[in-house]
Amino acid sequence: MRICIDSSTFIPGLQKRDPDKVKLLILVRNNIHITIPRLIAKEVTRNLIAEEVREFYRLFQEEQFGQIIDEPIPSALVEKYINLGLPAKADAFIGAFAEWMNVSHLISENRHFLRELQTTAFEIVNAAEFIKLLEDDA
């Protein structure tokens, strides 16, 4: 399974402010591949203290577990997500990235993704919903 986790989920999880997000970061270390664009990594690290930044990058130390992608996202996909109603600055890039990387789930607390985006390319869930999916599959 390949997933993308948005900064709105990473930050409170790494800061230990939300039990569901903390649990998610523990659970995903088992047979789930995280792939994120550099854009998310920059946003996450900009909002964390040094120890939390180190913990974030530890999630990506094993290549089989996760990766941060630096390649540019295809502009046609970004345009598609702008046309679907996502803000052009970051959300359209993240939606396009999720489709481009063929993720099964985009995990976000962002209302633009959760309430407004209609796509069949991937499933959009928050941390609590993804945890429930994992527990139901176990």
Task: Report CA dihedral (40, 41, 43, 49) to the nearest 10 degrees.
Answer: 150
Share of the chain above pLDDT 70, in %: 96
Q: Which helix (H) or strand (E) holds 56?
A: helix 50-58
Beta-strand pair 66-69/33-37? parallel
Among 30-34, 98-102, 108-112, the range with the most confident prediction by mean pLDDT is 98-102
For residues 25-35, average pLDDT: 85
pLDDT at 63: 57
Closest by CA to 95, choosing from 25, 40, 33, 21, is: 40
Predicted confidence (pLDDT) per residue in 82-95, tens digit: 998 888 888 899 99
Q: Is 62's pLDDT higher than 70?
A: no
CA 60 to centroid of chain Cα atoms: 13
Task: Using the structure block, give the residue that is written with the tokens 């919903």.
Answer: 129
Domains of the chain (ranges plus CATH)? Answer: 2-137 (3.40.50.1010)
Measure Cα distances from 72 to 37, 43, 68, 136 in Å.
Answer: 9, 17, 12, 35
The vertex-41 CA angle with 123 and 87, nearest 5°, equals 55
Predicted confidence (pLDDT) per residue in 108-123, tens digit: 998 767 677 888 999 9
